[in-house]
Amino acid sequence: MRSSRNQRGLTDAEIARCLGIWAVLDGPGYCPLDTSLASEHGSRTRYNEEQQTVYLGADVYPGAAVDARSRMSATACLAHECSHADRHVRGYGRPAVEPDSLLDEAEASLNASFYLPLSSLDREDLVADARDRLVDWLAHTRRRNPDES
């Protein structure tokens, strides 16, 4: 998950908390959560399709910026990554390059917003993240086809 989120490597207690969140989200039912890089500065939380694994990174925790992607909680962030794994297991294609990767990111956040253990704030942040990525996708697409509107 890219954005201006936390960069500081996670403590053992933070990693343990994330494993707890992962269990509550039923993450282990989709794929493992690998914590081996989480204590490294600047490590990224991401789903790796080839290894069918979510890697826990420093950016699982929010940053100071106010956009949805930066402010969403560790729970919302892990729900987003779990959603990538969930969608991969169901055979959804995942465009790797922009702008269409933005649609995949939006759909992952929207799908994650339906997960039962989430608070209303986490749901709202995931829906707002999906909206922001759709707005970005539309802006890219309009730039590509300036005469069509």
Closer to Zn ion by CB, 14 or 105: give it: 105
Give me the helices (H) in 4-99, please: 12-24, 68-71, 74-89
By CB under 5 A, name the binding residues for Zn ion: 105
Closer to Zn ion by CB, 7 or 149: give it: 7
Closer to Zn ion by CB, 38 or 110: give it: 110
Q: How many CB atoms lie under 10 A from the CB of residue 131?
A: 14
Give CA 85 to chain center in angstroms: 11
**Minimal distance, residue 108 CB to Zn ion, in Å:** 5
**Minimal distance, residue 47 CB to Zn ion, in Å:** 7
Question: How far apart, in Å, do the first and last CA atoms of the chain sit?
Answer: 31
